[in-house]
Chains A and B, each alone.
Chain A
Amino acid sequence: MAAPVLRGARAVRCWSLGVGPRRTRALFAESVSGRGSRRSSAAAREPRPGAHEWAAVVGLEIHTQISSNSKLFSGSQVTFLAPPNSLVSFFDASLPGTLPVLNKRCVEAAVMTGLALNCTVNKKSLFDRKHYFYADLPAGYQITQQRLPIAVNGSLTYNLGGGTHWSPSATKTVRIKQIQLEQDSGKSLHDDTRSQTLIDLNRAGVGLMEVVMEPDMSCGDEAATAVRELQLILRTLGTSQANMAEGQLRVDANISVHHPGEPFGVRTEVKNLNSIRFLAKAIDYEIKRQIEELQNGGKILNETRAFDEKLGCTVSMRDKEGKQDYRFMPEPNLPPLILYDAESLPVAADPQQVVNIDWIRERLPELPSVTRQRLVEQYGILPEHSFALLNEDGLLEFFQNVVKETRTEPKKVIGWILTTFLGYLKQQNLAVSESPISPSLLAELLNLLDRKAISVPAAQQVFEELWHNKGKTPGQIIREKKLELLQNQEELEEICQAVLDKHPQEVTAVKKGNQKVVNKLIGLVRRATQGRADPGRIKQILEKQLQ
């Protein structure tokens, strides 16, 4: 998979929408940075093909907290916000004599996620110990799956255009190397004033799925979109709530740059990214930094870096000497994990003790990519629309409920949902669940509009009124504010005639052939009717009367 070519330090945008190298060269014909060009002109430089081109390579390691009642190897509760060390069992505190007992729900969650990501689920997988010392890891090791993880060799497809300019050519795929089950560590609160660290083990032992994505991505946008799609998949499956802000989804990015055709460069790892937006920013910054460093003759160190949100840059985090040796060894207290399918299912098995991959596969919910396609076919909306519907929690359900209760075409409903409704939500930073307008109310309003009881501008007014004054129905508002469309033909004709009588000059102008004046007359009639007349009808009547 060829990575797009970046020209110099400025070229951090992804040329992923079908723009070829030739065009790139034309856009970035000038030399890169002042320092760089001075340097290269001073030193003897052998012209290498592609010497000014850079390609970036981004791989991701994503840890998601499994949505379960209890922890991976113990029966302590998994929940957010509890008094420190109250959700900790003797095993979680690694008191001697305790043993791990595997949680079935966590295994099922990993299998579901593996199947949704097109992985091969290993019928036999093994647990290992990964050793390192840190105060929030009381055992001194983490139980993980290094040798033989539960799922391998999958893929994730995402689309870069998204809700704005979806196009089939913007579809990309990233390979999933593996998915493994592992334990989470506790939380450290650093108290620098007293030179100590406070340890809360509530999170220690919570089940995690580590999803390793191969370095098939080439910029922040691609990585962010892939992570977003993974988030949607996990939430649809229910295997993780994948909320980055709450630490349920953690992403580490491995970034390196190289000249196309040459081997990959030294990579750095960027951690501490707690939102998708910062993920994209951090990756793009790091790519730029590495290119600048190498162009200035420097070297990239294989180190860990953190992202400083305020400064918008990555900083070195090195406080360990050299590479860690984790001394992986098999977890001696756990036999291999055996999964079954319909064929290999043992006959007289206790259902509680058996995880059947085929049974789980049959019960997988509809994945986002399939849903989007179905919505386009079912409602006749555009791919951008279905993308936008799935991108906001609860929006799809809202849309479907409105469509159920109104005769208006889904194509028209979608406009109201994505422009008006979503616009109001975003303005006040509300979630769909916090909307003051229910689907029924909106459906009622759209029905009135459809019956031509009110005009579109009037409908907008009613919407605003509904939003700010809860408890009123559209009908009530229309009556109160007298927004009904004037339906009476005679009344309309009277008003039109009156306007024509008051403006003889304009009438003469129209009769002479000036069509633009007709619009002015329509405007006058509209004002006279206080916006209660359909402009189309006014035009019809005026044209008849002007003959």
Chain B
Amino acid sequence: MSRGSARASWEAEMWRPTLRAALRAGGAGVGGCRNAGSDSGKAGSRVSAELIEHLERLALVDFRNREGVERLRAAIEFADRLRAVDTTGVAPMESVLEDRCLYLRADRVVEGNCVEDLLQNSRQTVEEYFVAPPGNITLPKQSEQDPVTQN
């Protein structure tokens, strides 16, 4: 199984060409990262505005400002150091628990029946149901958002 499967495919697409070039040049860090966040949509930029928007929709996080985006870029750079190790022909580790035994539970009913405790956590309930808005509310597009988050 390829290394890319456990990591987001967008990452593999964006980083690999330039990273390899940087590594060949002998640099441990990623050379082209200096302008991270300041170019939106430019080809080859590290963390584009589209990427930020995509991540914000997927994970419902708010990068909020340039500092947040920079922190993201730094985190990606940190993780990318893994690529410095040559893993050709080595099977990937799927889990740090891989040599543990997966415990199998007997099929007995031992939990449940605590509706009052659970409903305590919800601000709004209707007759023992949790209340949610009707369907997912779509996020506004990037252009409609606070200009501070745009770079």
Contact = CB atoms under 8 A, between A and B. Distances in A.
B102 A197 contact: no
Given A196-B133, A330-B6, A352-B104, A75 B54 contact: no
Contacts, number: 153
Given A84-B128, A86-B112, A103 B105 contact: yes
B115 interface: yes
Interface of B: 1, 5-6, 8, 54, 58-60, 94-115, 118-119, 121, 126-136, 138
B108 A107 contact: no
A196 B131 contact: yes
Contacts of A95: 121
Interface stretch (A331-339, A401-409, A432-440, A521-529): A331-339
Contacts of B6: 329-330
A70 B102 contact: no
A360 interface: no
B94 A330 contact: yes
Binding site of B, secondary structure by majority: helix, strand, loop or mixed? loop
A199 interface: yes
B8 to A, nearest CB: 7
A296 to B, nearest CB: 31
B112 A197 contact: no
Interface of A: 68-70, 74-77, 83-91, 93, 95, 101-107, 126, 131, 133-135, 147, 188-192, 195-201, 319-321, 325, 327, 329-330, 332, 334-338, 352-353, 355
Contacts of A107: 104
A336 B102 contact: yes
Nearest to B138: A321
Contacts of B103: 101-102, 353
Contacts of A89: 111-112, 114
A245 to B, nearest CB: 23
A134 B96 CA distance: 30
A77 B109 contact: yes
A83 B128 contact: yes
A91 B126 CA distance: 22
Contacts of B134: 190-192, 195-197
A134 B136 CA distance: 7
B95 A188 contact: no
Given A126-B94, A325-B54, A197 B108 contact: no
22 contacts: A68-B107, A70-B110, A75-B108, A75-B112, A88-B114, A104-B106, A106-B107, A126-B95, A135-B130, A147-B1, A147-B5, A189-B129, A196-B133, A197-B132, A198-B130, A327-B59, A330-B94, A335-B101, A336-B95, A352-B106, A353-B101, A353-B104
A86 B115 contact: yes
> What are the nearest 5 A-B pairs in CB distance?
A135-B132, A105-B107, A89-B111, A198-B129, A75-B110
Contacts of A74: 111
A78 B117 CA distance: 20
Nearest to A68: B107
Given A190-B134, A199-B129, A104 B104 contact: yes
Contacts of A330: 6, 94-95
A321 B116 CA distance: 37
Contacts of A195: 133-134
A103 B60 CA distance: 32
B132 A334 contact: no
A90 to B, nearest CB: 8
A511 B104 CA distance: 88
Nearest to A186: B130
Contacts of A198: 126, 129-132
Contact of B102 (A75, A196, A334): A334
A98 B96 CA distance: 19
Contact of B111 (A75, A199, A352, A355): A75
A84 to B, nearest CB: 5
Nearest to B139: A321
B69 to A, nearest CB: 19
B124 to A, nearest CB: 8
B104 A355 contact: yes
Nearest to B132: A135
Given A86-B112, A86-B113, A133-B60, A335 B107 contact: no
Nearest to A199: B130
B118 A75 contact: no
In the complex, which of the residues A87, A189, A191, A335 has the most CB atoms of chain B within 10 Å of its own CB atom? A335
A255 to B, nearest CB: 25
Contacts of A189: 129
A319 B114 contact: no
A417 to B, nearest CB: 37
A127 to B, nearest CB: 9
Contacts of A191: 134
